Amino acid sequence: MKNRLTMICLILSLLLVIAAASACGAGSTAPGTKEPPATEKPISETETPKTDMQQTKASNSPIPEAGRIIILEEDTAADKYKEYIEFTADESEFKTKIFLVAEGTVRDFKFLSVAIEGADEGGKIEYTAKTLYEQELLTEEKPLLVTMTFFGDLPSYGISYTGQNGETKVFAIEQSGKDGSVLLTELK
């Protein structure tokens, strides 16, 4: 009974996320927003393969490798970065802006739309990820400012990149239920 109730809640949450995303016209660029240069291009039709990943604990703690990415909220970092790239994932009434900042340099950076496909009885969650924006290199000197919305408790967006050790990392972008801070949660 408990597993059935959990699955029903998960499906209802997924339907709410999908409805909110389609109502907001995800992926549109707002008037006045800078278009990225040719090497930094939004992608609308590229879909990453369906991947079965396990969500790990949300944490603000450092990723233990050089070439990691941190999230800074716009109001705390706007004065620090005079040069940055802008990308608008969506423009809703409840939008927020975050800086994605590389510590060092990361390769093959992608901003993703993340959707939950389902879960098995063991709690293993299946995600699909669609690339909304990509750039070859993300550097500390020129971060990415993203306009996005948290549509509910489940993540709608994420990032992937190749670290300095050559390993591809995938993270969901989430909002803490405790204090509203923005977190990166690694997806495996």
Write the DSSP symbol of residue 176.
Answer: -
Q: What is the dihedral of CA 70, 148, 168, 40, to 10 degrees?
A: -100
Radius of gyration of the chain measured on its C-alpha atoms = 16
Number of separate domains in the chain: 1
Average of per-residue pLDDT values in the chain: 72
In this prediction, residues 169-179 reach a mean pLDDT of: 90
Give pLDDT, residue 8.
52
- Per-residue pLDDT reduced to its tens digit, 129-145: 999 999 999 998 999 99
Structure tokens at 28: 């549109």
**How far from 24 is each of 37, 52, 133, CA to CA, in Å?**
25, 27, 17
- Least confident range from 28-42, 69-83, 110-124: namely 28-42
Give pLDDT, residue 135.
96
Q: What type of residue sits at position 127?
A: Y
Residue ranges making up the domain that contains 73: 2-186
| The model's pTM | 0.64
148's enclosing H/E stretch is strand 144-148
Give pLDDT, residue 143.
94
Write the DSSP symbol of residue 156.
Answer: -
- Per-residue pLDDT reduced to its tens digit, 81-119: 889 999 999 999 999 999 999 998 899 999 999 987 877
Locate tokens 């800074």: which residue?
A: 72
